[in-house]
């Protein structure tokens, strides 16, 4: 409802009908013909020859309707007696007083451009827009709620950043000056651009709500990439250099972020983003010409443009809203209610429990957010370059120890993929992975248990126990970061299998693909867990629900497919050695919490209703079975098997605790021994759940404290040109270790090892040479250990704990003790302790998998990595165990292993196929 | 039913898990000592640490480098000033040969402990210091130990006793010195957890700390790092020095005395139980088994004057029922003082010599430094404690030298005179294991030096 116009100013208006569909022309001409304010002339603009032919037979107020190929041509043809041009889309249907209101109110406001209020064509009571605000990135923001009714709430003439191109009145002289709309842009972006350029010349842009135009919603917007390209071009045209300096990079990043997040919301934005930027790159010269034209004669600066812009990013708001909506939809009804009416229902238990759990996760990971992953056990910071690490994973060089061509662990490739999606920020990627691992673990457990009849609250508590309970703390306490991530995925793998298998075959195929992808991702984080979902599902069929046999059956092909995702690592791994690696498996869980878990499980099993009792039985078997597996060390299994058993026990503990809480709820109101037993089980479960708070104080998600990074602080400024030999007990050394007469040691890069160094390959020539050198040192054949270790690029020796090596290195003539450090440290006096050095003594810097340094024509550089003929540039020579290559290019690198590269590409393709089929099947569900 | 099945399965699994045997805990890992003293001259790289040495305006220090293979020897003389770089020199030894290096040609700064690194072997080094009133020295040490024993010290009137702790390594060492005398244990609290800076040395003047003890033995226990200790004894007329030793139940001393010097074997027992020691003497003509026996109480060193059980110059073998340390110390007999010279110091009696023994006989011996000192008489001492006659080849480590063959009767000691400044050292080859040492004496004093066995 708008107030009627009062008087007709003596102005002359030319109507420019923007033609997109010639079939709409009669309708728009009729609407224009009904206008109270009579236009002087009507011209159809654009639409090429079809439009031209269509208007040939049309007339308006007795005069033939003209045609012009573009607004620019129209402007040139309009004589000075015309004061304004009313630009209106052919699909728009202006109300009879629309033009009059624009002319009168626009003139009263002395506006250069006046726009109409747009209402839905088929629901005229609902608003489409009443003027447009933008953010600094030119993204339009109408500020209306979905389906917002027009109740006159916005009916005031006001300045706006822009008006829609569906109906706008523009002064002819202004249009002549700024050159009309930019035809290369999407229509929405072009309208914003037109208004911005007008404002740059000092013209006011107002919305006249009394000018009402009915419009089909969604019209006037071109393909997403075109609109995005137009927005970029608009920004490039109008902003000053200072604004552009920060707007353009942010625009780039925002688009990339959207491209990354959008697939999780069911749409693709990457290609639009890439196409938009590519288009702008292609048309940059034209944009620069337009920029000169737009900014020439400007009377205001960027501050004026900012005036009607909203703060922040419209796109980010939309993404957040969509994510929020998704999350709400994922929660069960009771939880969704809590989200939807958070203010009113804040005290709902599920919300409180959710907040407490979120707080525990946030506090329990705060150190990782602030300082990154500790270097302890198999937890290490991610490498600086995600792309380089991904190349190393796909057939490149394994940098652990003295290097090896053996494939890296899948977690390295997985982490580097995540790192690339966060703009190659290793710290952010590691933090995200950790937090997501915990959050997904909790969420997944809640959903898994809910499918088995356990309420959300009990499930969330069970999830907390999964990621921070006693078994998981035993895993994370050893620094098994990647297994921590795998545990976060494990309940999703189980849930994907046990959900009902729908009849349509596309849906089944999608589920199978989804299950395979989830198991594959879990196994990428911890390969020994590959068979765990299958085993646990088999147990569930046995003790929980015989009808769930399709879940276990589906897990078989899914596991096989998932194994395919582990190439190239799985193709080269020595399974026997893998399972026996490390100290013998013998987990000794804390007696109190282990007993509490067992008692809780037994009490619930006895007292709870059948569905809950069976969940408890399943959990009990997992706890007991996992504990059994984790203690098989006497028969050969080592660290990996212990971790496997602990992971199984972790999911079992989560189920027992979830069932324990549920049992209390289910027996409330009942009497007798069952209630008492359920309460007893609940209390025992609560004790286990309370123990999860133990991760809060340290704030490292249960991971060990970082003793090593501070101990290696002395090497921070050394650019990694030398290595460090770490000696000490195995549990104080990072990642894999080697042994010499029972004493453990390992070689790492400086200033601290990264994740790609965690797992070493089989010993090669260099490793054997190092072993021999150390043997010579400990047997006293040399007292110049520094000299003996220099050929391996080892400059420092750090004693990480009690080790017989300490005494050995203290008795060396060329190993200087460094005082004031956290751990006993010796530095070599040998002059050539570098990883790469030329014959002339120039030191090259490792930027793995490449070494770089000053080029020496005809020179040679020795690369202290295990000898391999793929090192180059040619000619390559083997220097004992190391490599000597040409120094002529100033760079030495190792060529890719074609087989490994193909396998990695195959795995990546398989993952994409699985995800695509999963998505497709979900759509067909 | 399923509840029962679940419970039964869980119980069985828990029971099996509980009953699983625990893997054997890892054993404590201890690397063998770098090399247990005494060290052999082996065919490999080696380092020899010479705690004794002095080179200044009056005294000349000769480092003898003997090798059976062509090697390069790197001499390092740490500076007494903290942070100052050591003086380093390289010498080639075109083995089998011996090279005598005048340390004064490298640096003259008084006390000059040093170490010699050979890049091959078998090789060894010894040090000799000569001057107007000085002829002293001994072999250098090629092995390290956490516990060293030094016997034969004395702080009686007229003598000075210095314990030198040489730390050639960069890391500071921490040691505790404990003493024992003929009066029992000697507390040395000031030398508990005593710091010895890296690449430096410390001299502990024991005669000021524990004066007027006829016999003093010390044990040096290393808490951190490593040191090489030496006793330096001076009687005003001469000086003698010998390095620390390990413990053994057998000690052989090819040389115990010279003309004008009275030899004594000093035995110390750092253990907890008394040790009975039998003494065998070996003359040029044959063995005198069990010439005497002595019980050595823990913490109380025993001095056996050789002249008290045999009148001639002999070699000696000790056979103990427990590990002991032992050295031979020989002192010049006091000359008759002019009756009208009441100011003369009676302690300036005469030359002083001392060295450690050999824990076991060997087939080959390197006698670095033998024959290197100009103007003194040098003798090699060859001891055959077996019941067999042994053929021995003696060869000066000089390109032009002609080997000399001789026989050692069963249970005998043989004195083999060599010239003055004729070679930098000698190699002794025997068909059966023997023990070898050397001595030198002249107007300026006397010295004993043990040989170094050549290993495989």
Tens digits of per-residue pLDDT, B136-178? 998 999 888 889 999 999 998 889 999 999 999 988 899 999 9
Q: How many CA atoms lie within 13 A of A446 on its CB side?
A: 21
Q: Say what percent of chain A tops pLDDT 90.
A: 58
* Angle formed by the axes of helices A241-261 and A314-330, nearest 10°: 20
- As a whole number, the mean pLDDT across chain A is 89
Instruction: Measure CB to CB from residue B17 to each of A602, A617, A624 and give the nearest one.
Output: A624
Question: How far, rounded to the nearest angstrom, does the alpha carbon of residue B143 sit from its chain's CA centroid?
Answer: 10
According to the model, what pLDDT value does residue B401 have?
75
* Residue found by looking up tokens 């639009």 in the block: A272
Residue A306 above 70 pLDDT?
yes
Instruction: For residue A89, list its beta bridge partners.
Output: A18
According to the model, what pLDDT value does residue A818 have?
86
Range of lowest pLDDT (A7-16, A604-613, A729-738): A7-16
Helix (H) or strand (E) holding A207: strand A204-215
Q: How far is the C-alpha of A829 from the C-alpha of A638, rounded, in Å?
A: 39
Please report, for residues A190, A311, B232, B278, B419, the alpha-carbon distance to residue A236 in angstroms, rounded to integers and kept in the order given: 13, 19, 89, 104, 100
A805 has a chain B CB within 8 A of its CB: yes
Work out the minimum CA distance from B177 to partner chain A, whole angstroms: 20
Q: What is the pLDDT of residues A556-603, one digit of tens each?
A: 999 999 999 999 999 999 999 999 999 999 999 999 999 999 999 999
Work out the minimum CA distance from B393 to partner chain A, whole angstroms: 29
According to the model, what pLDDT value does residue B38 have?
61
According to the model, what pLDDT value does residue B177 have?
96
Range of lowest pLDDT (A155-164, A319-328, A387-396, B243-252): A319-328
Instruction: For residue A828, list its beta bridge partners.
Output: A815
Question: How far, rounded to the nearest angstrom, does the alpha carbon of residue A412 sit from its chain's CA centroid?
Answer: 16
At B312, list the tokens: 């001639």
Mean pLDDT for A712-728 is 86
Q: What is the pLDDT of residues A822-874, one digit of tens each?
A: 899 999 999 899 999 999 999 999 987 799 999 999 999 999 999 999 999 98
Mean pLDDT for A474-494 is 96
Continuous H helices in B45-127: none
Residues 821-880 of A with CB under 8 A from B: 826, 829
Angle at B243 between CA B238 and CA B248, to 5 degrees: 125
Nearest Cα to B91, choosing from B107, B73, B77?
A: B73
Helix (H) or strand (E) holding A918: helix A898-923
Q: Say what percent of chain B tops pLDDT 90.
A: 66
Q: Is B295 left (phi over 0), alpha (psi -120 to 50) or beta?
A: beta
Confidence of residue A342 (pLDDT cuts 50, 70, 90): very low
Q: What is the pLDDT of residues A879-912, one digit of tens each?
A: 999 999 999 999 999 998 999 999 999 999 999 9
A264 or B161, higher pLDDT = B161
The pTM (predicted TM-score) of the whole model is: 0.71
B261 burial type by CB count under 10 A (0-12 exposed, 13-18 middle, 19+ buried): buried
Residue B73 above 80 pLDDT?
yes
Q: What is the pLDDT of residues A514-549, one digit of tens each?
A: 999 999 999 999 999 999 999 999 999 998 888 888
Q: How far is the C-alpha of A197 from the C-alpha of A555, rounded, in Å?
A: 61
Confidence of residue B399 (pLDDT cuts 50, 70, 90): low
Work out the minimum CA distance from A600 to partner chain B, whole angstroms: 12
Residue B347 above 50 pLDDT?
no
> What DSSP assignment string belongs to A477-537?
HTT-HHHHHHHHHHHHHHHHHHS---SSHHHHHHHHHHHHHHHHHHHHH-GGGTTHHHHHH
Q: What is the pLDDT of residues A428-465, one digit of tens each?
A: 999 999 999 999 999 999 999 999 999 888 999 999 99
Mean pLDDT for A729-753 is 93
According to the model, what pLDDT value does residue B381 have?
96
* Residue found by looking up tokens 């570098």 in the block: A834
Confidence of residue B345 (pLDDT cuts 50, 70, 90): low
Please report, for residues A117, A391, A431, A555, A601, the alpha-carbon distance to residue A324 in angstroms, rounded to integers and kept in the order given: 30, 36, 21, 32, 36
When computed from its CA atoms, the radius of gyration of chain B, rounded to whole angstroms, is 25
According to the model, what pLDDT value does residue A381 have?
94
Strands (E), B270-314: 275-282, 287-296, 302-305
* Residue found by looking up tokens 């006698």 in the block: B367
Residue numbers in A near B3 (CB within 8 A): 605-606, 610, 613-614, 617
Contacts for A138-143: CB closer than 8 Å, 24+ residues apart: A138/A189, A138/A192, A138/A193, A138/A196, A138/A231, A138/A232, A138/A234, A138/A235, A139/A231, A139/A313, A139/A314, A139/A315, A140/A188, A140/A192, A140/A314, A141/A310, A141/A314, A143/A310
Residue A6 above 50 pLDDT?
no
Helix (H) or strand (E) holding A177: helix A172-178
Mean pLDDT for B405-429 is 89
Contact B31 A617 (CB under 8 A): no
According to the model, what pLDDT value does residue A246 have?
82
Nearest Cα to A751, choosing from A717, A725, A727?
A: A717
Contact A813 B115 (CB under 8 A): yes
Q: Does the bond joining A751 to the residue before it have cis omega, within 30 degrees of 0?
A: yes
Chain B residues with a Cβ under 8 Å from any Cβ in chain A: 2-3, 5-7, 9-14, 16-17, 20-23, 26-27, 29-35, 44-45, 47, 76, 115, 117, 143-144, 168-172, 198, 224-226
Mean pLDDT for A169-182 is 88
Nearest Cα to B442, choosing from B350, B360, B367?
A: B350
Do residues A614 and A648 make contact, with C-beta atoms less than 8 angstroms apart? Answer: no
Residues 583-622 of A with CB under 8 A from B: 583-584, 586, 598, 601-602, 605-606, 610, 613-614, 616-618, 620-621
Mean pLDDT for B14-19 is 92
Q: How far is the C-alpha of A141 from the C-alpha of A137, rounded, in Å?
A: 11
Q: How far is the C-alpha of A889 from the C-alpha of A892, rounded, in Å?
A: 8
Q: How far is the C-alpha of A15 from the C-alpha of A9, rounded, in Å?
A: 16
Angle at A165 between CA A160 and CA A167, to 5 degrees: 90
Q: Strand A13-18 to strand A41-45: parallel, antiparallel, or no bridges (unpaired)? A: parallel
When computed from its CA atoms, the radius of gyration of chain A, rounded to whole angstroms, is 35
Confidence of residue A297 (pLDDT cuts 50, 70, 90): confident
Confidence of residue B132 (pLDDT cuts 50, 70, 90): confident
At A706, list the tokens: 């970082």
Q: How far is the C-alpha of A878 from the C-alpha of A861, rounded, in Å?
A: 12
ipTM (interface pTM)? 0.79
Nearest Cα to A235, choosing from A250, A257, A218, A223?
A: A250
Do residues A603 and A677 make contact, with C-beta atoms less than 8 angstroms apart? Answer: yes
What 8-state DSSP symbol labels residue A264?
Answer: G
Range of lowest pLDDT (A304-318, A800-814, B262-276, B279-293): A304-318
Contact B170 A743 (CB under 8 A): no
Count of pairs with CB atoms under 8 A, one residue in A, one in B: 129
At B126, list the tokens: 């010894």
Please report, for residues A156, A424, A469, A477, A763, the alpha-carbon distance to residue A377 in angstroms, rounded to integers and kept in the order given: 66, 24, 19, 9, 20
Confidence of residue A347 (pLDDT cuts 50, 70, 90): very low
Instruction: Measure CB to CB from residue A627 to each of B17, B33, B115 and give the nearest one.
Output: B17
Residue count of chain B: 456
Residue A339 above 50 pLDDT?
no
* Residue found by looking up tokens 């299998």 in the block: A497
* Residue found by looking up tokens 């069963």 in the block: B410
Q: How far is the C-alpha of A645 from the C-alpha of A659, rounded, in Å?
A: 21
Instruction: Measure CB to CB from residue B10 to each of A614, A624, A812 and give the nearest one.
Output: A624
Residue B337 above 70 pLDDT?
no
Helix (H) or strand (E) holding B262: strand B261-268
């Amino acid at each position: 409802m708008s107030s009627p116009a009062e008087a007709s100013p003596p102005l002359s208006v030319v109507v420019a009908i923007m033609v997109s569909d010639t079939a709409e022309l009669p309708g728009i001409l009729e609407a224009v013909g009904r206008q109270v304010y009579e236009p002087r002339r009507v011209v159809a603009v654009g639409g090429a020859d079809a439009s031209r032919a269509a208007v040939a037979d049309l007339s308006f107020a007795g005069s033939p309707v003209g045609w012009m190929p573009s607004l620019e041509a129209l402007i040139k043809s309009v004589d000075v007696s015309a004061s304004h041009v009313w630009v209106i889309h052919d699909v728009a249907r202006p109300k009879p007083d629309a033009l009059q209101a624009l002319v009168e109110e626009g003139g009263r406001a002395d506006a250069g451009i006046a726009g109409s209020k747009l209402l839905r064509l088929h629901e005229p009571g609902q608003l489409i827009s009443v003027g447009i605000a933008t953010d600094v990135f030119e993204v339009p923001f109408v500020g209306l709620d979905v389906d917002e009714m027009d109740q006159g709430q916005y009916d005031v003439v006001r300045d706006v950043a822009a008006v829609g191109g569906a109906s706008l009145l523009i002064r002819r002289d202004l249009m002549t000056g700024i050159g009309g709309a930019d035809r290369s842009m999407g229509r929405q972006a072009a309208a914003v651009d037109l208004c911005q350029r007008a404002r740059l010349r000092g013209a006011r842009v107002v919305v006249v709500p009394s000018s009402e135009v009915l419009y089909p919603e969604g019209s006037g917007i071109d393909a997403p990439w075109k609109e995005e390209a137009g927005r970029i071009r608009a920004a490039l045209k109008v902003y000053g250099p200072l604004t552009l300096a920060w707007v353009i990079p942010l625009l780039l990043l925002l688009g990339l972020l959207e491209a990354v997040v959008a697939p999780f919301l069911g749409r693709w934005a990457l290609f639009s983003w890439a196409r938009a930027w590519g288009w702008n790159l292609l048309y940059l010269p034209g944009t620069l010409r337009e920029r000169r034209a737009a900014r020439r004669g400007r009377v205001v600066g960027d501050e004026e443009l900012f005036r009607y812009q909203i703060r922040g990013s419209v796109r980010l708001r939309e993404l957040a809203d969509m994510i929020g909506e998704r999350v709400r939809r994922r929660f069960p009804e009771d939880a969704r209610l809590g989200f939807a009416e958070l203010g009113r229902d804040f005290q709902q238990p599920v919300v409180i429990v959710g907040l407490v759990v979120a707080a525990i996760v946030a506090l329990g990971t705060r150190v990782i957010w602030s300082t990154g992953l500790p270097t302890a056990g198999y937890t290490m910071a991610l490498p600086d370059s995600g792309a380089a690490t991904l190349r190393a994973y796909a057939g490149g060089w394994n940098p652990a120890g003295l290097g090896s061509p053996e494939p890296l662990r899948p977690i390295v490739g997985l982490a580097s993929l995540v790192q690339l999606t966060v703009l190659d920020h290793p710290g952010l990627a590691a933090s995200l992975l950790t937090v997501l691992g915990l959050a997904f673990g909790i969420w997944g457990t809640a959903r898994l248990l809910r499918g088995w009849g356990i309420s959300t609250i009990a499930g969330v508590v069970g999830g907390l126990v999964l990621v921070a309970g006693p078994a998981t703390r035993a895993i994370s306490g050893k620094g098994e970061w990647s297994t921590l991530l795998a545990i976060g995925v494990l309940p999703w793998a189980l849930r994907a299998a046990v959900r009902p298998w729908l009849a349509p075959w596309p849906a089944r195929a999608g589920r199978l693909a989804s299950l395979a992808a989830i198991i594959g991702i879990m196994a990428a984080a911890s390969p020994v867990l590959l068979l765990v979902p299958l085993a646990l599902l088999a147990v569930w069929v046995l003790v929980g629900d015989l009808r769930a046999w399709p879940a276990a059956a589906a897990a078989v092909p899914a596991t096989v497919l998932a194994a395919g995702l582990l190439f190239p690592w799985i193709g080269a791994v020595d399974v026997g050695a893998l399972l026996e690696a490390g100290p013998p498996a013998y987990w000794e869980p804390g007696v109190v919490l282990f007993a509490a878990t067992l008692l809780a499980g037994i009490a619930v099993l006895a007292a709870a209703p059948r569905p809950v009792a069976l969940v408890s039985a399943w959990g009990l078997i997992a706890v007991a079975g996992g504990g059994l597996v984790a203690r098989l060390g006497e028969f050969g299994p080592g660290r990996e098997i212990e971790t496997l058993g602990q992971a199984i026990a972790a999911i079992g503990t989560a189920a027992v605790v979830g069932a324990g809480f549920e049992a209390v709820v289910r027996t409330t109101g009942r009497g007798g021994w069952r209630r008492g037993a359920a309460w007893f089980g609940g209390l025992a479960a609560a004790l286990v759940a309370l123990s999860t708070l133990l991760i809060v104080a340290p704030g490292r998600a249960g991971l060990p404290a970082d003793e090593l990074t501070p101990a290696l602080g002395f090497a921070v400024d050394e650019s990694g040109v030398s290595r460090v030999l770490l000696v000490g007990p195995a549990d104080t050394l990072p990642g894999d270790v080697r042994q010499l007469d029972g004493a453990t040691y390992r070689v790492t890069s400086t200033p601290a090892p990264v994740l790609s160094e965690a797992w070493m390959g089989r010993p090669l020539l260099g490793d054997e040479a190092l072993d021999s050198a150390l043997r010579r040192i400990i047997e006293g054949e040399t007292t110049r250990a520094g000299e003996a270790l220099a050929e391996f690029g080892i400059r420092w020796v750090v004693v990480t704990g009690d080790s017989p090596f300490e005494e050995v290195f203290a008795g060396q003539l060329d190993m200087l003790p460094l005082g004031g450090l956290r751990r006993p440290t010796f530095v070599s006096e040998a002059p050539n302790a570098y990883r790469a050095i030329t014959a002339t003594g120039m030191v090259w810097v490792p930027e793995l998998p490449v070494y770089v340094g000053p080029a020496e024509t005809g020179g040679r550089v020795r690369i202290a990595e295990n000898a391999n003929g793929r090192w180059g540039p040619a000619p390559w020579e083997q220097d004992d165990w190391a490599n000597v290559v040409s120094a002529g290019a100033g760079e030495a690198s190792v060529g890719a292993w074609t087989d490994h590269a193909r396998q990695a590409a195959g795995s990546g393709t398989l993952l994409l196929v699985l995800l695509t089929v999963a998505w497709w099947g979900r759509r067909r569900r | 039913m399923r509840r029962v099945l679940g419970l039964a399965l869980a119980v069985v699994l828990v029971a099996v898990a509980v009953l699983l045997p625990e893997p054997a805990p890892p054993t404590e890992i201890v690397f063998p000592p770098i090399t247990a003293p005494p060290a052999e001259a082996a065919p490999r790289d080696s380092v020899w640490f010479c705690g004794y040495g002095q080179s200044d305006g009056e005294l000349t220090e000769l480092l003898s480098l003997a090798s059976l293979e062509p090697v390069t020897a790197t001499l390092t003389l740490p500076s007494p000033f903290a942070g100052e770089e050591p003086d380093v020199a390289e010498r080639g030894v075109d083995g089998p040969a011996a090279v005598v290096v005048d340390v004064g040609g490298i640096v003259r700064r008084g006390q000059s402990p040093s170490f010699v690194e050979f890049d091959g072997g078998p090789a060894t080094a010894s040090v000799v210091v000569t001057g107007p009133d000085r002829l002293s020295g001994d072999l250098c040490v090629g092995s390290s130990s956490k516990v060293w024993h030094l016997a034969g010290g004395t702080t009686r009137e007229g003598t000075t006793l210095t314990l030198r702790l040489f730390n050639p390594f960069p890391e500071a060492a921490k040691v505790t010195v404990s003493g024992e005398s003929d009066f029992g244990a000697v507390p040395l609290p000031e030398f508990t957890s005593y710091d010895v800076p890296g690449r430096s040395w410390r001299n502990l003047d024991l005669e000021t700390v524990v004066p007027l003890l006829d016999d003093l033995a010390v044990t040096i226990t290393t808490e951190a790092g490593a040191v090489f200790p030496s006793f330096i004894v001076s009687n005003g007329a001469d000086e003698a020095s010998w390095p620390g030793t390990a413990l053994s139940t057998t000690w052989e001393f090819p040389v115990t005395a010279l003309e004008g010097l009275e030899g004594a074997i000093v035995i110390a027992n750092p253990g907890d139980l008394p040790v009975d020691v039998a003494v065998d003497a070996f003359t040029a003509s044959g063995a005198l088994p069990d010439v005497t026996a002595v019980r050595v109480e823990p913490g109380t060193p025993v001095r056996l004057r050789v002249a008290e059980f045999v009148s001639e110059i002999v070699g000696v073998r000790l056979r103990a029922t427990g590990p002991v340390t032992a050295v031979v110390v020989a002192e010049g007999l006091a000359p008759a003082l002019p009756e009208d010279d009441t100011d003369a110091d009676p302690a300036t009696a005469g030359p002083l010599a001392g060295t450690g023994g050999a824990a076991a006989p060997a087939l080959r011996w390197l006698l670095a430094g033998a024959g290197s000192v100009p103007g003194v008489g040098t003798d090699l001492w060859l001891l055959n404690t077996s019941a067999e006659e042994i053929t021995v080849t003696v060869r000066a480590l000089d390109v032009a030298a002609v080997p000399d063959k001789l026989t050692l009767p069963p249970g005998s000691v043989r004195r083999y005179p060599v010239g003055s400044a004729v070679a930098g050292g000698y190699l002794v080859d025997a068909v059966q294991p023997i023990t070898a040492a050397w001595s030198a004496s002249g107007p300026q004093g006397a010295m004993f030096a043990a040989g170094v066995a050549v290993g495989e």
